Amino acid sequence: MNLVIIFGPPAVGKLTISSELAKLNGYRIIHKQEIFDLLDDFFFFGTDNYRQADQGIRKIIINEASKVKHIKGLIMTFVWAFNDSRDKSYIEEVLKLANKRKIKIYFVELQSTELERRERVRSASRKVAKKVSTLAGLKKLEKDKVWKSDSKYFEDKRYLKLDNTVLTAEKCAELIFEEFDL
């Protein structure tokens, strides 16, 4: 089984591109907002309980999906703050699980200009999906966060960095599909 981890800052287009990629390869999407909708009934966003439950659910899905023959791959969206060691630790746990279950992992880092993300955050689809949909909310999420990776971390990994400021979601999905031969 394959696991494509699409990560980047809020409003960069992770779910939109994941949806287009899933159309091309039939992979299932593990989208953070679906998990958050469940967790919001139990925990306060941003707490350790919330984070542990989110990460635990994702690992369970990855582990169990790797045992099912009709699922050939997963796409997981992830907001990865590179100055938060907890995010890197979680990815390391996923890598260990993938190694144990013989899952191939592909990393896709999405970037776009701050101006573009500020435009995207106000789209109507974000409100429907219960995502942050205001500039104030975006600024709060972004406060003190580093969104761009140190590419050295990915030197020995299957990795693609895409700036999707002007690329369509369809084009990004095609580039990912072709780069990794998915």
Cα–Cα dist 160/176, whole Å? 7
Tens-digit pLDDT string for the chain (182 aa):
999 999 999 889 999 999 999 999 999 999 888 898 899 899 998 899 999 999 999 999 999 999 999 999 999 999 899 999 999 999 999 999 999 999 999 999 999 998 888 887 777 776 565 666 666 666 766 778 888 898 788 999 999 999 999 999 999 999 999 999 99
User: Could you tell me the pTM of the whole model?
Assistant: 0.90
Distance (Å) of CA 72 to CA 99, 114, 160:
16, 35, 20
41 DSSP assignment: T
Superfamily the domain 2-180 falls into: P-loop containing nucleotide triphosphate hydrolases (3.40.50.300)
Q: Are 8 and 147 in contact (CB under 8 A)?
A: yes
Locate the domains of the chain by residue range.
Answer: 2-180
